[in-house]
Amino acid sequence: MKTPLLEIEDLCARVADKEIIKGFNLTINEGEVHAIMGPNGAGKSTLSHVLCGKPGYEITAGTVRYKGKNLLAMAPEERAREGIFLIMQYPVEIPGVPVTTFLKHAVNAIRQHRNEPELDTMEFIKLLREEGKKLGINPDMLKRPINVGFSGGEKKRLEALQLAVLKPQFSILDEADSGLDVDAMKVVAEAINAERTEHNAMLVITHYQRLLKDIVPDYVHIYADGHIVASGNKDLAREVEEQGYAQFLKEK
Amino acid sequence: MTTEQEKPEIADESGDKYKYGFVTDIASDTAPKGLSEDIIRLISQKKGEPDWLLERRLEAFRFWQKLKEPTWAKLSYDKIDYQDLYYYSAPKQKVAPKSLDEVDPELLKTYEKLGIPLKEQEVLSGVVAVDAVFDSVSVATTYRAKLAEKGVIFCPISEAVKEYPELVKKYLGSVVPYTDNFFAALNSAVFTDGSFVYIPKGVRCPMELSTYFRINAQNTGQFERTLIVADEGSYVSYLEGCTAPQRDENQLHAAIVEIVVLKDAEVKYSTVQNWYPGDKDGKGGVYNFVTKRAACRGANSKVSWTQVETGSAITWKYPSCILQGDNSVGEFYSVAITNNRQQADTGTKMIHLGRNTSSKIISKGISAGRSNQTYRGLVKVSPNAANARNYSQCDSLLIGPDCGSHTIPYVENRNKTAKLEHEATTSKISEEQLFYCQQRGIGEEEAVSLIVNGFCKEVMQHLPLEFAIEAAKLINISLEGSVG
């Protein structure tokens, strides 16, 4: 018996006056990895932003349930505390806030939400160092202000570290239009694969099939013009790689 | 001629964010309202001052009467009626306390409530010595004996006038003369108490010195006077903290701080200013008009001002450095936070007179609510100040659409060998930064405080540790309710 984790029904959303998501439907069950592929400019990132509650989008129709609850009614931080994690394409810089400080606030906010005791500084630093080591993160990086002056690879490693430390149940990897740093991507992919369990689920948003060689999805969906135009298994991704998106765009 | 008043009113502490807003119920000895030569004579007599000081006060008062209140600052407030204020209020005590055991327990309780333990055995195992100034008088100074072993003098200035008249006479008013400005003249006429510090030649002061100022009485101006003299080759780190009860009317605070730094000496002066800022509609709050200045008189002398300004309805304050000695160094690190209806016009002056003098200005202004803030600074290089250097950085952070921030950096350079750099930025907390924090589970207010603390970090790291923790908390409290 499959347990649905995320249920999106007839979702429509817009930015300013522009309709971006138009009647989007998708159900993701616990333990599943879904990939969404689509041409550039199709609004793939909008989907990840809407799911995480980023301001600036207006939901005009549809529902999203997460663990049976109305996701769209939750503040962005509540969604995060409930286990939704977005691996961002362009993580933002926060000057003067060291990685350690930032993550300690995040971890304890989430632990508090789960009624777990807060970690003290010593326990926390130990955890951070251990997880960092697995990802090849130098302890010095943990003292630096978050993302400030980080290379593309370092930024991705930091996102992977947060994934490992915050232990979300539903992760969204947004690589909608990036020119991927292949090595950094491998690190992220490994981190994501390490989190694959029968309860956790993932949504991988990408333009290229290449990423899906490292994170092998259970389902692949082709996204165009604001909704899903085709669904299949991992073979669908290969088909796209070989033949391009044109055939799917014509079908509609 | 004095009147006694009991002050039974109680400030409502519950549900209010300014936790220092309580009033101490204590009998005080208060001079009648208003300002005149008679009142000044009375203050001088109460303090048992020598004639020379009374004369100086009167001179200052006569000069002040000719002055007009300055209006150039970007501040707007109701006209202050200087005749409607009390200029002297002292906790009533039969005899001056000889030790802490004799200090009124109500007063000790007040400082305990403020988080300032005065009992020496409780004072962080001897790392900080405290002078506590309550309204117009110093009520207790800790660790004096221990400091005296090193020859360090740390006492109320009213006492220093009597016990170390040569030092006081020589240096008082030598950095900020009464002719300097309107508020300096007023202070010079009516100042009541404050701290005096003297560090002898070659002595590194063995602990942090700290003064806590507390305005308690109603309608009472606080005019404290601090004088710090660092003799050749000495070092001292000095901390200053201020709080006031929450009252509906405005309280006037006009202080002077003078610092004299001789050859090879160094003074670090840190302030956490948390006078009552008024309520969210701008009712009440302290008017803070302060003149702070350090004179680096000797070669290789150094002074550094670090300030965290979160309180006061009105702030008018420009801690300055006169870099007279060759190779002398002046630094100014400032965080100013205004919220609701607060207004701050603050900055610094770096006056380069000696050769190879250098100065650094790091100013971080955070405006929220409907507040208004101005950085006003002057870097002046005189014709003789060969190779002077200055680096200025003024960053402003805006929270919300209704606040204002202004940067006015004056530069006067009269020497072509000078190297002056200025950087200024104005930014808003970006939606992207907030979203990033929230996406990791951090609530919006906590996210703002993280981002703001990050913004201020360069300044905060110059504060002594225990002060830095207090200051970080204050920043969070000051910004409560500024988002959403």
Pull the structure tokens for residue A136: 């090849």
pLDDT for the residue numbered B107: 63
Residue B126 covered by a domain: yes
For residue B64, report the phi and psi dihedrals to the nearest 5 degrees.
-60, -40
Task: Count CB-CB contacts under 10 A for residue A188.
Answer: 24
Residue B299 covered by a domain: yes
Pull the structure tokens for residue A6: 């995320």
Predicted confidence (pLDDT) per residue in A51-110, tens digit: 999 999 999 999 999 999 999 999 999 999 999 999 998 899 999 999 999 999 999 999
pLDDT for the residue numbered B194: 85
Per-residue pLDDT, averaged over A181-206, amounts to: 87
pLDDT for the residue numbered B6: 37
The dihedral through the CA atoms of A166, A170, A175, A180 has a sign that is: positive
CATH of A4-251, one of 3.40.140.10, 3.40.50.410, 3.30.1050.10, 3.40.50.300: 3.40.50.300
Between B410 and A89, the higher pLDDT residue: B410
Exposure class string for B316-344: b at 16+ Cβ within 10 A, else e: bbbbbbbbbbbbbbbbbbbbbbbbbbbbb
Nearest CA to CA, how far is B431 from chain A (Å)?
8
Between B39 and B475, the higher pLDDT residue: B39
For residue B17, report the phi and psi dihedrals to the nearest 5 degrees.
-85, -20
Alpha-carbon distance of B129 to B231, in angstroms, equals 19
Task: Give the least confident one: A192-206, B82-96, B230-244.
Answer: B82-96
Contacts of B427 in chain A (CB under 8 A): none
CA angle B180, B415, B349 (to 5 degrees): 30
Instruction: Of B196, B268, B203, give the one whose Cα is nearest residue B233.
Output: B203
Where does B25-108 show beta strands of DSSP type E? 28-30, 89-91
Which chain B residue is nearest to residue A144, measuring alpha carbons? B454
Nearest CA to CA, how far is B273 from chain A (Å)?
23
Per-residue pLDDT, averaged over B448-457, amounts to: 92
pLDDT for the residue numbered B123: 45
Residue B163 covered by a domain: yes
Nearest CA to CA, how far is B435 from chain A (Å)?
6
Contacts of B435 in chain A (CB under 8 A): 52, 54-55, 76, 92
Q: How many CB pairs under 8 A join A and B?
A: 79
Nearest CA to CA, how far is A38 from chain B (Å)?
25
Residue B417: band (very low, low, confident or very high) from pLDDT cuts 50, 70, 90: very high
Question: Alpha carbon B377 to chain centroid distance?
Answer: 17
Instruction: Determine whether the interchain pair A102/B431 forms a contact, defined as Cβ–Cβ distance below 8 Å.
Output: no
Instruction: Check if B443 contacts A (Cβ < 8 Å).
Output: yes
Nearest CA to CA, how far is A121 from chain B (Å)?
16
Is the model's pLDDT at A128 over the cut of 80? yes
Pull the structure tokens for residue B327: 């190779």
Residue in B438, B450, B458 closest to A102 by CB:
B450
Is the model's pLDDT at B332 over the cut of 90? yes
Domain boundaries, chain A: 4-251
Instruction: Determine whether the interchain pair B454/A53 forms a contact, defined as Cβ–Cβ distance below 8 Å.
Output: no
Residue B137: band (very low, low, confident or very high) from pLDDT cuts 50, 70, 90: low
Is the model's pLDDT at B12 over the cut of 50? no
Is the model's pLDDT at B215 over the cut of 80? no
Nearest CA to CA, how far is B400 from chain A (Å)?
15
Which pairing describes strands A170-175 and A201-206: parallel, antiparallel, or unpaired? parallel
pLDDT for the residue numbered B91: 65
Contacts of A91 in chain B (CB under 8 A): 436
Nearest CA to CA, how far is B243 from chain A (Å)?
28
Instruction: Check if B321 contacts A (Cβ < 8 Å).
Output: no
Is B143 strand, coil or helix?
coil
Residues in a beta bridge with B322: B295, B351
Instruction: Determine whether the interchain pair A52/B444 forms a contact, defined as Cβ–Cβ distance below 8 Å.
Output: no
Reported pTM? 0.82
Is B63 strand, coil or helix?
helix
Cβ distance B412 to B381 under 8 Å?
yes
What are the CA-CA distances from residue B432 to residues A88, B220, B435 (Å)?
11, 47, 5
Per-residue pLDDT, averaged over B391-401, amounts to: 92
Instruction: Of B352, B351, B290, give the one whose Cα is nearest residue B319.
Output: B290
Nearest CA to CA, how far is B469 from chain A (Å)?
14
Question: Alpha carbon A54 to chain centroid distance?
Answer: 13
Q: Which residue has the tokens 């000496």?
A: B265
Instruction: Check if B397 contacts A (Cβ < 8 Å).
Output: no
Alpha-carbon distance of A249 to A247, in angstroms, equals 5
| Amino acid, single-letter form, for residue A100 | T
Which pairing describes strands B349-352 and B372-381: parallel, antiparallel, or unpaired? parallel
What are the CA-CA distances from residue B353 to residues A99, A234, B136, B180, B414 (Å)?
43, 75, 36, 18, 11
Instruction: Determine whether the interchain pair B438/A76 forms a contact, defined as Cβ–Cβ distance below 8 Å.
Output: yes
CA angle B333, B334, B340 (to 5 degrees): 170
Structure letter (DSSP) for residue B220: B
Q: Over chain A, what HEC string results?
A: CCCEEEEEEEEEEEECCEEEEEEEEEEEECCCEEEEECCCCCCHHHHHHHHHCCCCCEEEEEEEEECCEEHHHCCHHHHHHCCEEEECCCCCCCCCCEHHHHHHHHHHHHHHHCCCCCCCHHHHHHHHHHHHHHCCCCHHHHHCECCCCCCHHHHHHHHHHHHHHHCCCEEEEEECCCCCCHHHHHHHHHHHHHCCCCCCEEEEEECCCCHHHHCCCCEEEEEECCEEEEEECHHHHHHHHHHCCHHHHHHC
ipTM greater than cut 0.90: yes
Task: Say if residue B95 is exposed, middle or buried (CB neighbours under 10 Å; 0-12, 13-18, 19+).
Answer: exposed
Instruction: Of A45, A17, A4, give the one whose Cα is nearest residue A223.
Output: A45
Cβ distance B229 to B197 under 8 Å?
yes
Instruction: Of B122, B139, B118, B117, give the one whose Cα is nearest residue B26.
Output: B139
Instruction: Determine whether the interchain pair B438/A53 forms a contact, defined as Cβ–Cβ distance below 8 Å.
Output: yes
Instruction: Check if B43 contacts A (Cβ < 8 Å).
Output: no
Percent of chain A topping pLDDT 70: 96
Is the model's pLDDT at B7 over the cut of 70? no
Instruction: Determine whether the interchain pair B436/A92 forms a contact, defined as Cβ–Cβ distance below 8 Å.
Output: yes
Mean pLDDT in chain B?
Answer: 85
Pull the structure tokens for residue B65: 């009467």
Is the model's pLDDT at B217 over the cut of 90? no
Instruction: Determine whether the interchain pair A145/B454 forms a contact, defined as Cβ–Cβ distance below 8 Å.
Output: yes
Contacts of B457 in chain A (CB under 8 A): 96
Percent of chain A topping pLDDT 90: 66
Instruction: Check if B428 contacts A (Cβ < 8 Å).
Output: no
Pull the structure tokens for residue A223: 């996204």
Pull the structure tokens for residue A191: 């981190």
What are the CA-CA distances from residue B465 to residues B210, B275, B461, B470 (Å)?
14, 21, 8, 9
If one counts the domains in chain B, the total is 1
Mean pLDDT in chain A?
Answer: 90
| Amino acid, single-letter form, for residue B446 | E
Query: Which residues have a Cβ under 8 Å from the Cβ of B315 and sit 6 or more positions away?
Result: B273, B288, B309, B336, B342, B343, B344, B345, B346
Predicted confidence (pLDDT) per residue in B226-280, tens digit: 999 999 999 999 988 866 666 667 788 899 999 999 999 999 999 988 888 888 8
What range does the domain containing B144 cover?
3-317
Instruction: Check if B423 contacts A (Cβ < 8 Å).
Output: no
CA angle B184, B363, B346 (to 5 degrees): 25
Residue in B438, B451, B456 closest to A94 by CB:
B451
Predicted confidence (pLDDT) per residue in B28-39, tens digit: 777 788 899 999
Between B41 and B213, the higher pLDDT residue: B41
Between B16 and A132, the higher pLDDT residue: A132
- CA end-to-end distance (rounded Å), chain A: 33
Is B338 strand, coil or helix?
strand
Alpha-carbon distance of B95 to B93, in angstroms, equals 6
Residue in A80, A97, A103 closest to B439 by CB:
A80
Instruction: Determine whether the interchain pair A106/B430 forms a contact, defined as Cβ–Cβ distance below 8 Å.
Output: no
Instruction: Check if B444 contacts A (Cβ < 8 Å).
Output: yes
Nearest CA to CA, how far is A163 from chain B (Å)?
10
Predicted confidence (pLDDT) per residue in B344-394, tens digit: 999 999 999 999 999 999 999 999 989 999 999 999 999 999 999 999 999
pLDDT for the residue numbered B228: 97
Residue in A76, A77, A95 closest to B455 by CB:
A95
Where does B113-249 show beta strands of DSSP type E? 128-134, 137-141, 153-156, 195-199, 208-214, 225-230, 235-243
pLDDT for the residue numbered B304: 97
Contacts of A170 in chain B (CB under 8 A): none
Nearest CA to CA, how far is A150 from chain B (Å)?
16
pLDDT for the residue numbered B126: 47
Structure letter (DSSP) for residue B106: H
- Interfacial residues of A (vs B; Cβ cutoff 8 Å): 52-56, 75-77, 80-81, 85-86, 88, 91-92, 94-97, 101-103, 105-106, 109-110, 113, 145, 162, 166
Which chain A residue is nearest to residue B449, measuring alpha carbons? A97
B355: alpha, beta or left? (left if phi > 0; alpha if psi -120 to 50): beta
Is the model's pLDDT at B167 over the cut of 90? yes
Task: Count CB-CB contacts under 10 A for residue B289.
Answer: 26
Cβ distance A120 to A173 under 8 Å?
no
Alpha-carbon distance of B170 to B184, in angstroms, equals 18
Instruction: Determine whether the interchain pair A76/B439 forms a contact, defined as Cβ–Cβ distance below 8 Å.
Output: yes
Residue in A53, A80, A96 closest to B440 by CB:
A80
Residue in A75, A92, A105 closest to B433 by CB:
A92
Residue B424 covered by a domain: no
What count of Cα atoms within 13 Å lies in the side-chain half-sphere of residue B357?
34
Instruction: Determine whether the interchain pair A102/B441 forms a contact, defined as Cβ–Cβ distance below 8 Å.
Output: no
Residue B460 covered by a domain: no
